[in-house]
A and B are shown apart, each in its own frame.
Chain A
């Protein structure tokens, strides 16, 4: 009655439809046996290991997939509650007698796709295998992707911190690619002295050729108020020695274009008199060919290539006045950027136009406002650079490179970072390799034992002395070594202020954005704040950026026309010459115009004050 199948129906011999790559090809009986048979053949290497088969009893479907583009992952096969990857095979694999292909051919490891995974019961570790399991993971770490695997002692951190950490590793400045000096990518950063992490997970060795940080000595303590709220105090002397130094590269390119009618761009120092000429001084750094020489220091708006283009539209006036039919289209350094010309490339595009690429290099020494992060989702901004003589020091004379605020730990619970600090210290002191792979690494008691054997406290604490006074700190301070990254968010790229500058054509209000020398927007909420304080005159002044005077007809209230030459205003609507000048925002004048275009007549009633 309610549409559910009765017990009887379920028990009758099952049938299933077989779909091969999405197409219905057959209707079969005993689907379980069918699926089992195909799997067996695959494991015996009788059919390709790329074939995946799945059975969905609730839909009575058997799905076979052989196409490309499926995400598949390897798993060890479990039969009768036992992993097929035996100790004997492990030893053989370790000694190099067998390889990965052997394991696949012998039906020890198989790749499952998303659909076949639905039929599998996968154990995380070998110890967890029961007789119901069909597979076991190669290693528990495979539950993580590569970026999460880069975090040492990953499982000691809270989930969200792993997420943040993995995200920030991607923003680290290191070695972007091995041939970066020969490339002309639009922009990239490269670190000067990158290092491999002292403490890293096994899997992260795949990133060994692209390191993205440096190992530094850290003291977990406060330094006056300078490292509150995730700020970072850095040792200035370390910075002077090259800590976190990087280069910022930007490539500018321009094409010498050809136009209709035989006209073309000219690459040369623009002659005076050309439209948009920047003045002789602007082209001083250019060589005779109009292109800047390598190793020339440049800054905002410096001309890199002198170029002139033909005017696109010729108006009668231009011919009449005899101005040369050219305009200046030189390539200049972006606003807010500077550096040294690194390399000049002169080549051709596929259309056989001349192509010029100029790469600028800018040295970036860590400064207040740059962003640093550990691999545990703990980011911070440099707030103070302290000379090493003012930094705390140990009795051995070790001076930390960075002072990390302990308040960043309790609420975020990044215990992995504390372990990394301790393990880093142990590794640096002993020279022993310490693995930090997730789930399967040197455990804390062992690290502690190692520290003890080196003659240090096993909790990583040390007595520190204040560099400014020489006095001993009353408490022991946790110190250690950790891998730190400089992230791709530097103040040099962001610092911006404006007092006067360009406006947009339509509204006459200041432009937006740093690249356009824009104003800093006083937004709706800021406006409300001024209103809330009753500061009416401040409010008016702040929104004065587009103020204009408009002539309003006293008779009808429409905008009048002002003839500058005759210095006379007339109303186009009622021909009256009696006009009142009203001060208002240009944006409001624009609104009036727009309303008029809608067919709404707007009358301003004016009166004298």
Chain B
């Protein structure tokens, strides 16, 4: 019988101590727990992957039909539902709507302090302080009308206003109420492009964070943002970096490592599914997250991720980009060991899953006092022989193995 995991043993013992149970009763509880635990374990060779895949994709198909949107609620419009789920499993480098949920330390639970931090985070671009622009095509410069009230709010005095444009190779000066931006090397073709780079230029805050919303969750103030930059936010004083999260999994991977990325995949997909009113056992998501992160980096489910990197040539070829995989395999002289399920289904062999994973081996010739015949088995047996085959052909039954080899 399988032993119980230490955590459960500890819990039962703590319970027994608390309730002051007799040794007999404690033993009985332990026995029942052990029985239940062994019942809930997966059997050997049970295809957990397929079960997990089905358990995940069934609710996903439900989601295509109904993705709820919340219009007009305070907060930030985040991609949800199936698009978000695809984003996670496809391991997109940048989510469509990157967001952060920033929690603060105990000493900063004050609306004024929270606002101050929020202001520090929000990115202010030049266009926020510029009312209008005129492009002078003859002398190649840009004239901007400034919003001085806004600048004052940002703590930039009038005399320093011309310093807000922090671009290279640019001369700025203040002419009355207007800011004149003159690029050092520009021509008629590039001057319009230049106008946009001026408008988009960074003044203050954290780059990429375009919106900041302060809300209260219970007794705690939290800041949600549109745009994500964990590394910079962690550096801000007052931010509780142990409880601040982003939905950008790759950023988490870069800042905190794979383990954190695995947790992020789990939490994000669980949240997305549950937010739609659907439920999936966390173990399936765990399996998926583990698969995506086993080798230390985030791999997508799909052509360029897990499916594209499978060991079997046949399986890869049967999924997508058939020619690429077949030609590649022949160039490299790849060998397919036929250990997987799909390969064996393709060849109509008994797949090594469930009941097919086991073989009865009896050394009959040895038992009969004869020498064992046949070649040495160095590779895996790919299947058992069928009786019909033996009778019909009178040759020793074989099972196939396949390897692609380069020959032109």
A residues with CB within 8 A of B: 1, 527-529, 531-537, 539-540, 543-544, 546-547, 549, 552, 557, 579-585, 587-588, 591, 595, 598-609
Does A1 lie within 8 Å of B132, measured CB to CB?
Answer: yes
Closest CB of chain B to A566's CB: distance in Å?
15
Kindly state whether residue B32 has any CB partner on chain A within 8 Å: no
Does B349 lie within 8 Å of A527, measured CB to CB?
Answer: no
Interface string of B43-64 (1 = CB under 8 A from A): 1011100110110000000000
Closest CB of chain A to B391's CB: distance in Å?
11
Chain A residue contacts of B327, Cβ below 8 A: 598, 600
27 A–B contacts from the bound complex (CB under 8 Å) = A531-B50, A531-B341, A537-B350, A540-B351, A543-B348, A549-B389, A557-B403, A580-B396, A581-B395, A583-B348, A583-B397, A588-B348, A598-B327, A599-B408, A602-B402, A603-B402, A603-B404, A603-B405, A604-B403, A605-B402, A606-B399, A607-B377, A608-B396, A608-B398, A609-B383, A609-B384, A609-B385
Stretch at the interface among B198-206, B231-239, B354-362: B354-362
Number of residues on chain B facing chain A (CB within 8 A): 56
Does A549 lie within 8 Å of B375, measured CB to CB?
Answer: no
CB-CB under 8 A for A606 and B401, given A540-B351, A581-B389: yes
Closest CB of chain A to B298's CB: distance in Å?
26
- Total CB contacts across the A-B interface at under 8 A: 150
6 A-B pairs closest in CB distance: A534-B354, A536-B356, A580-B398, A601-B407, A585-B348, A605-B401
Kindly state whether residue B393 has any CB partner on chain A within 8 Å: yes
Chain A residue contacts of B43, Cβ below 8 A: 534
Does A602 lie within 8 Å of B357, measured CB to CB?
Answer: no
Kindly state whether residue B6 has any CB partner on chain A within 8 Å: no
CA distance A582 to B393 in the complex (A): 10
Does A595 lie within 8 Å of B326, measured CB to CB?
Answer: yes
CA distance A587 to B347 in the complex (A): 8
Chain A residue contacts of B399, Cβ below 8 A: 582-583, 606-607, 609
B residues with CB within 8 A of A: 43, 45-47, 50-51, 53-54, 132, 134, 323, 326-327, 329-330, 341, 345-357, 373-375, 377, 379, 381, 383-386, 389, 392-393, 395-408
Closest CB of chain A to B1's CB: distance in Å?
22
Does A540 lie within 8 Å of B400, measured CB to CB?
Answer: no
Of A534, A536, A606, the most chain B CB neighbours within 10 A belong to A536
Chain A residue contacts of B351, Cβ below 8 A: 531, 536, 539-540
CB closest chain-B residue, reference A580: B398
Closest CB of chain A to B45's CB: distance in Å?
7
Partner of A584, one of B46, B347, B385: B347
CB-CB under 8 A for A580 and B395, given A531-B341, A532-B47, A536-B352: yes
Chain A residue contacts of B356, Cβ below 8 A: 534, 536-537, 539-540
Does B47 lie within 8 Å of A531, measured CB to CB?
Answer: yes
CB-CB under 8 A for A552 and B54, given A533-B354, A536-B356, A600-B327: no
CA distance A531 to B54 in the complex (A): 11
CA distance A584 to B382 in the complex (A): 12
Does B353 lie within 8 Å of A531, measured CB to CB?
Answer: yes
Chain A residue contacts of B323, Cβ below 8 A: 598
Overall SS of chain A's interface: mixed
CB-CB under 8 A for A535 and B354, given A581-B398, A606-B400: yes
CA distance A532 to B54 in the complex (A): 9
Does B386 lie within 8 Å of A528, measured CB to CB?
Answer: no
CB closest chain-A residue, reference B346: A588
CB-CB under 8 A for A585 and B47, given A579-B395, A595-B404: no
Partner of A585, one of B347, B373, B402, B405: B347
Does A604 lie within 8 Å of B401, measured CB to CB?
Answer: yes
CA distance A552 to B382 in the complex (A): 15
Closest CB of chain B to A73's CB: distance in Å?
36
CA distance A540 to B341 in the complex (A): 11
Chain B residue contacts of A591, Cβ below 8 A: 346
Does A605 lie within 8 Å of B403, measured CB to CB?
Answer: yes
Of B47, B348, B402, the most chain A CB neighbours within 10 A belong to B348
CA distance A536 to B50 in the complex (A): 13
CA distance A549 to B398 in the complex (A): 10
Of A527, A552, A587, A607, the most chain B CB neighbours within 10 A belong to A607
Chain A residue contacts of B396, Cβ below 8 A: 580, 608
CB-CB under 8 A for A609 and B50, given A527-B345, A536-B350, A537-B350: no
CA distance A547 to B347 in the complex (A): 9
Chain B residue contacts of A579, Cβ below 8 A: 395
CA distance A539 to B356 in the complex (A): 10
Chain A residue contacts of B393, Cβ below 8 A: 549, 581
CB closest chain-A residue, reference B395: A581
Chain B residue contacts of A536, Cβ below 8 A: 350-357
Q: A583-B386, A608-B397 are in contact. List 7 more A-B contacts (CB 8 A).
A: A1-B134, A534-B356, A583-B397, A585-B347, A598-B326, A608-B398, A609-B385
CA distance A436 to B50 in the complex (A): 55
Chain B residue contacts of A528, Cβ below 8 A: 50, 53-54
